Structure 1
């Protein structure tokens, strides 16, 4: 881009995006650009810093900041005058999100969304934060103060910016380096497992503290260590997690499915968004636990969660699964899910007293004057007749709730999250004796393998309204290969095994690091500052952890020694520090 005449028009350019999150911002007075070489070239031509805002459609605080700042004409005018403004959907570009979230952590800040980062025109981060209020509060400056302060520092060529830029870029590159070591042995795994057990809440389950996240990769690892190492404490913390969550407010007792996390330490008050990846992993964990220690609660929650998936999350003519449901409806967090005592009384009549007592419904409410349904105080079954009455009550309230304005749904299809869901449905179908659950798993697999595969055979990451977008990442290949192996074991159909091998081979060609493990982005990725490489599991399992599992399974199924060598090399690339193994339980 040689002169300003060739610059994009000074207007919001998100109207042609496919991402629901970007489209939510298409009407902002901010001159948003989507991520890409055009936006970076514009910043370089103008010599302006970049304001990068990353979020997702179901994010409550993203909506809050959008309403307070991005919809405000004065704030937008300041942003447009001082910055090239780029908006990213973290679910559509998790590689970009991970890179700049790592940069924020390196700056000593807590992570979260919306992620607000300030970059050089070349995309190098130098400062950032998360949510900024419209006025100074909670010891944080206002967003407009931040905008002006960063712009002034940039114009003055503040040495701190130059120092931060170089230091952060170097640190991000070092984070992607291997940390080699031998494959962990039984004694090492035992220490890691027992260390994780000690970090759990012995009363409420999950990891100690608040907010509380489900952390399925950690608890899946502990369940496996129970059987591998004979450690009953590992199984007990998994069961405590599942039982406390399944009777808490984080679970939707009317419609099924788990919210993303609890803001408190007792699983009562959720952040009300429901994510596909959480529910897929928790469904698989319920199946694992039920297979080892059968419990009617696990079976009930699995059936209800699958019911929610098939009723509310299917998209693309029932062939794949949508990404998430929003926390907000009618502009209020949780409004769709909460109840007033008077509503319950009017709908349930003489059965209301029983329901109110069991599900913690009171006049004053248990959250901001409203009631979040939960069975924390009545977790044990109350007898067949009483439970039948409660089931009728739930059905009545569910029918009434269906007349409310529902939360929005992000209906894009993500290859990696659909892979997690396919594998979970396959395992749940076997454990709970529901072969009918295999059918939606097969349809979703066929959709991703067909509609989300480019002409050169490579996977694409996202799909919406007839259009696939974003190059496939390591997690897409690994998750779909794992799903293919699950379907192969369930059906015996060789085509699923062929898919798994083809995707595992593609990972070797496009993502392999020379010293072991795999980068998140393919080697031909042109729009990332640093190619990330990590085995750390977060809310979703890491691509390296999934690949090690796929490679080990391929060795078991085919007897081909190269897959064993690949698995050992993948694990060995990250095994150098024992204290780091707790952060990568899937590996």
Structure 2
């Protein structure tokens, strides 16, 4: 059986796939039917993986996939399958690892050639239509692959068998467990600190990415060891990012990455996951430094998320495109005349707080950014600057907006819900906590037969969920419990943990696979150990289980998390810098903190101190005077007849404190 010889993407839920629905290429979505067609025709598969906000994906689509001649070659020689990597990270990770195993640099668009049974034998990323940039032209590649398939099929098939076996061993196999080591985090953080660009922040060189997993390693290491160099690397990098052109100074929110080493010229797509992680980290940074820049950027970014990214379900859309009206960054950039026309006589005030930057090689209008001094002035003069931003935002509203990828991804929403709940606690913003709670409810409402989907767009849902979806939502539920003291969230978290165990646990119950056990179209069930822009699936699972176990006092669950962490650490030793999410979560498993605060609900002075001192290692539980307190380690029940704060580390607790100043001192990180 073969599918119709035409483009079949028009009925897909993914906006990225639908962007290609008018291509002359006979695209299919990834499905069992498409794989069966390749087998029936005995043709190789051309697999193209990208996402809606990807700049070079748009370039290759325009140059090659919209070209009738090139499409004709593709249709004649291949079964062409298009994948949205955000919908199918399980598929993307398999073939990205395959490209890496070939010794090639990864990225998107990912272009892979597969045997009819889905085994990879050659690939690359972006190819120009004709040879340039030192890269072979796409037509040249297509013709060479066809020739090799016809003349050397047996050799290619053998090579593909070996490559897929190697990838399966790397991504799916069990390794001997490693004992958790308290020094591992510090050693890893020392290595990362050696990569820091102390002139511009972030990692040395270009392009520059926020790299939240690396920044988290540095932050956790500071909390564990008191090494202020690790803390300062994070604070410095965040300040540089939030003053640079990678940040949208008019509307709020962080772009995906900067093409240069100074954070000036971004690829202008805005991703939900980047901004979720920014909020969480900026919240930690503000609590530590009391630098008002972090507070301002948190408020601006949440305002943007609420204004532009919320869907009708109250959950959040995935991304905003880099392009509008066919030009990258057009929506976000400003000419001097446009600034003058919008601000009139206040343009001089604006110039004291912002620069219009047009670095060499940038062909668009100038980009807003700040020097260190301008950033400090913005903080000092923020009411006046906020008025200028409001006027610029209103002026920008008349422009053609970038496209929004409206699909709702469960795991990315879970990351954001956690960040919103934590920021809401720290800043006393019940509206932010409400935003998180509504988003959480919106995700839960999409479940069917007790199972979460991975992706939702309108009435289209992509089942089954991935392990990242359950992990992120367990963590989100725990964060909402801390923010609201509503134990219903703990009940939900337990149910989600049961679903994770049922559908994703391996046979030995020592870890989890990314895809569910009833996912029929994955060539390999991988574990999901490797970090991308967000921590790996395994890292997120360990954190989620540790936080739930700490909140509930469930010793068996914590022991289970430790076993999973030890096996994950055994695998992570093969590629440490690509799996820092596992190392980070293992540090949380080793030293979980639990704070139980007993207090008069009408006073809340101790709770307020706890809220103002967020620590990613800690779970906070508030109990009213005379209420029922959770047991502490050792089954000790704290007294609820008078105010007190009980801080527990692993299986021991410090003596209770009753004064806010004492608690603040207790929660403050120790310095070396």
TM-score normalised by structure 1 residue count: 0.95
Q: In the TM superposition, what are the counterparts of 1:187-336 in structure 2 within 5 Å?
A: 187-315=183-311, 317-336=312-331
**1:55 partnered with 2:55:** no
2:548 counterpart residue number: 554
1:408 counterpart residue number: 403
1:535 counterpart residue number: 529
Shift, 1:387, TM fit: 4.2
2:480 counterpart residue number: 487
Unaligned runs of 5+ in 1: 2-6
**1:338 partnered with 2:333:** yes
Match of 2:121 among 121, 126, 130: 126
Shift, 1:290, TM fit: 1.5
Moved more, 571-580 or 284-293: 571-580
Query: How many Å separate the matches in 2 of 1:61 and 1:380?
Result: 32
Match of 2:512 among 505, 518, 523: 518
CA shift digits 1:123-177 (9 cap, x unpaired): 1111111111011001111111111110111111345412320121111111122
CA shift digits 1:271-328 (9 cap, x unpaired): 100000000011011111112222100100000000010000001x251100000000
8 A contact 1:92–1:470 mirrored in 2: no
Query: How many Å separate the matches in 2 of 1:362 and 1:443?
Result: 39
8 A contact 1:126–1:164 mirrored in 2: yes
Moved more, 375-384 or 540-549: 375-384
**1:157 partnered with 2:152:** yes
CA shift digits 1:224-243 (9 cap, x unpaired): 22111111111101101110
**1:462 partnered with 2:455:** yes
SS at match of 1:117: strand
Shift, 1:385, TM fit: 7.7
Unaligned runs of 5+ in 2: 586-672
Query: How many Å separate the matches in 2 of 1:419 and 1:364?
Result: 37
8 A contact 2:243–2:375 mirrored in 1: no
1:4 counterpart residue number: none
Query: How many Å separate the matches in 2 of 1:502 and 1:348?
Result: 53
Q: 1:384 to 1:497 in 2, by over 3 A?
A: closer
Q: 1:365 to 1:350 in 2, by over 3 A?
A: farther
1:471 counterpart residue number: 464
Shift, 1:578, TM fit: 4.8
CA shift digits 1:482-505 (9 cap, x unpaired): 101111121122221111111112
**1:564 partnered with 2:563:** no
2:602 counterpart residue number: none
Q: In the TM superposition, what are the counterparts of 1:61-72 in structure 2 within 5 Å?
A: 61-72=56-67
**1:98 partnered with 2:93:** yes
CA shift digits 1:399-424 (9 cap, x unpaired): 11111001000001010001001000
Q: 1:37 to 1:415 in 2, by over 3 A?
A: same
Moved more, 340-349 or 128-137: 340-349
Q: 1:375 to 1:93 in 2, by over 3 A?
A: same
Query: How many Å separate the matches in 2 of 1:364 and 1:119?
Result: 41
Query: How many Å separate the matches in 2 of 1:183 and 1:289?
Result: 31
Query: How many Å separate the matches in 1 of 2:360 and 2:252?
Result: 22
Query: How many Å separate the matches in 1 of 2:391 and 2:466?
Result: 44
8 A contact 1:425–1:438 mirrored in 2: yes
SS at match of 1:535: coil
Q: 1:384 to 1:269 in 2, by over 3 A?
A: closer
8 A contact 1:341–1:362 mirrored in 2: no
2:106 counterpart residue number: 111
Higher relative contact order (CA 8 A, sep 6+): 1
**1:434 partnered with 2:429:** yes
TM-score normalised by structure 2 residue count: 0.83
SS at match of 1:53: strand
Query: How many Å separate the matches in 2 of 1:194 and 1:383?
Result: 33
Shift, 1:443, TM fit: 1.1
Query: How many Å separate the matches in 2 of 1:343 and 1:567?
Result: 55
8 A contact 2:222–2:231 mirrored in 1: yes
Query: How many Å separate the matches in 1 of 2:103 and 2:162?
Result: 13
8 A contact 1:535–1:584 mirrored in 2: no
Count of residues paired in the alignment: 579
SS at match of 1:238: helix
2:394 counterpart residue number: 399
Q: 1:75 to 1:375 in 2, by over 3 A?
A: same
Q: 1:363 to 1:478 in 2, by over 3 A?
A: closer
Shift, 1:89, TM fit: 0.7
Shift, 1:380, TM fit: 4.0
Query: How many Å separate the matches in 2 of 1:36 and 1:361?
Result: 47
Query: How many Å separate the matches in 2 of 1:504 and 1:574?
Result: 18
SS at match of 1:463: strand
Shift, 1:389, TM fit: 3.7
SS at match of 1:54: strand
Q: CA RMSD in A?
A: 1.8
1:44 counterpart residue number: 39
SS at match of 2:369: coil
